[in-house]
C-alpha cells in the first residue's frame, strides 16, 4: 500500500498560498453555475420554471458572456477567500484542534472555524457585491457598470452596511459549509485510500472525496444559502433580519422556497469542492518540494 500523507503541523502560510492559487483557478471554471443558482434564488419565476429555462433564457438574452456577470467580484475575492479558508483550518489544527486525526469532532470544528474566518474577512463583502451585481442586471435601468463602480455606488448610498449585508447568514452558511466539507472530505478520502490501497492524495481519491463533501454541504445548508442571497439582494430592506427573511419565504413558498436553486448549486458545489481539494493537494505538493 502506498503511504498515506499527513498534514499534521503543516505550515499555514503554505496553506494560504496553495488555497489562494486554487481559488482563482476553481472560480474561473465553475462561475456559470453560481450565476444561474443566484438568479434562481433571486427570482421566483426562474425558480418555478427550472434550471433548463433559466440557462436558455440567459443565453438567448445575453449570450455566453451573460453567465459571467459578476465574475470579477468572485475572482477578486476568491484568491484570499480560499487562502484564508485553508490557512485558518491548518492553523486551528496545529494550535487548537490538535487531535483532529483521531477526533472527528475536532476536524469538524476546525472546518467551522475556517468557514467563520473566511465569512468575516472575505466572503460577506464578496457575496453582497456579487448578488447585487447579478440582481441589478435584471432591473429596468441597471445602475452598476462593474465591480468598482458597484462598490463606489453601494458604499455611497448605503455605507459600510451596504457592503457587509447579510453577515449573520453568511457566517452560518460558511461555518456549516466548511465544517461539513472538511469533515466529510477527510472521512471519505481515508475510507477510499484504505479501500483501494492508494495514498490519500491520489487524484481520484481527492476528487471523489471532494465531490461527496460538496454534495453533503449542499443538502445540509441550502436554506441558509437562500436566506443569505435574499438578504444581500436589492430588495433586502423588506426583511427585518435573517429570521424574518426565512419566515417570509416559508409562509409564501413553503419548504421548496428554502431550497430554491438546489440543482444548479449542487452542480456548482460538487465540481467546486472536488476541484478545490484536488488542486489544493497538488499545489501543496509542489510547494512542499520547492520550499
Question: What mean pLDDT is predicted for residues 114-130?
Answer: 91
- pTM over 0.75? The answer is yes
pLDDT at 8: 53
- 113 domain-assigned: yes
Q: Band of the pLDDT at 142, cuts 50, 70, 90?
A: confident
Supply 89's cell numbers.
Answer: 483550518
Question: Between vectors from CA 129 to CA 124 and to CA 133, what angle results, nearest 5°?
Answer: 150
Look up the CATH number of the domain holding residue 260: 1.50.40.10
Its domain, for residue 74, covers 12-290
- 1 domain-assigned: no
- 194 domain-assigned: yes
- 2 domain-assigned: no
pLDDT at 7: 56
Question: What mean pLDDT is predicted for residues 218-239?
Answer: 87
Q: How many domains does the chain have?
A: 1
Higher pLDDT, 130 or 116: 116
pLDDT at 64: 94
- 99 domain-assigned: yes
Q: Which sign does the torsion angle of CA 240, 266, 38, 88 carry?
A: positive
* Separation between Cα atoms, residue 127 and residue 77, nearest integer Å: 9
Residue 1 has pLDDT above 60, yes or no: no
- 4 domain-assigned: no
Do the Cβ atoms of 243 and 172 come closer than 8 Å?
A: no
* Separation between Cα atoms, residue 205 and residue 203, nearest integer Å: 5
Residue 145 has pLDDT above 60, yes or no: yes
Amino acid at each position: 500500500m502506498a503511504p498515506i500523507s499527513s498534514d499534521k503541523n503543516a505550515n499555514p502560510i503554505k496553506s494560504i498560498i496553495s488555497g489562494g492559487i486554487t481559488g482563482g483557478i476553481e472560480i474561473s471554471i465553475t462561475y456559470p453555475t453560481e450565476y444561474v443558482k443566484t438568479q434562481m434564488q433571486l427570482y421566483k419565476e426562474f425558480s418555478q420554471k427550472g434550471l433548463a429555462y433559466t440557462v436558455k433564457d440567459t443565453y438567448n438574452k445575453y449570450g455566453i458572456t451573460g453567465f459571467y456577470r459578476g465574475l470579477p467580484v468572485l475572482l477578486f475575492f476568491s484568491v484570499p477567500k480560499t487562502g484564508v479558508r485553508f490557512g485558518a483550518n491548518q492553523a486551528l489544527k496545529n494550535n487548537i484542534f490538535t487531535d483532529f486525526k483521531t477526533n472527528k469532532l475536532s476536524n469538524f470544528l476546525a472546518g467551522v472555524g475556517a468557514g467563520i474566518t473566511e465569512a468575516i474577512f472575505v466572503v460577506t463583502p464578496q457575496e453582497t457585491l456579487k448578488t447585487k451585481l447579478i440582481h441589478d442586471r435584471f432591473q429596468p435601468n441597471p445602475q452598476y457598470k462593474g465591480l468598482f463602480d458597484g462598490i463606489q455606488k453601494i458604499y455611497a448610498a448605503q455605507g459600510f452596511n451596504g457592503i457587509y449585508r447579510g453577515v449573520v447568514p453568511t457566517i452560518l452558511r460558511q461555518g456549516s459549509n466548511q465544517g461539513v466539507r472538511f469533515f466529510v472530505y477527510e472521512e471519505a478520502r481515508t475510507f477510499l485510500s484504505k479501500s483501494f490501497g492508494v495514498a490519500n492524495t491520489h487524484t481520484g481519491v481527492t476528487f471523489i472525496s471532494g465531490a461527496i463533501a460538496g454534495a453533503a454541504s449542499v443538502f445540509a445548508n441550502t436554506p441558509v444559502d437562500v436566506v443569505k442571497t435574499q438578504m444581500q439582494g436589492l430588495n433586502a430592506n423588506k426583511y427585518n433580519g435573517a429570521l424574518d427573511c426565512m419566515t417570509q419565504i416559508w409562509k409564501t413558498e413553503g419548504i421548496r422556497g428554502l431550497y430554491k436553486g438546489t440543482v444548479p448549486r449542487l452542480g456548482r458545489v460538487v465540481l467546486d469542492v472536488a476541484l478545490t481539494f484536488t488542486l489544493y493537494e497538488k499545489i501543496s505538493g509542489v510547494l512542499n518540494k520547492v520550499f
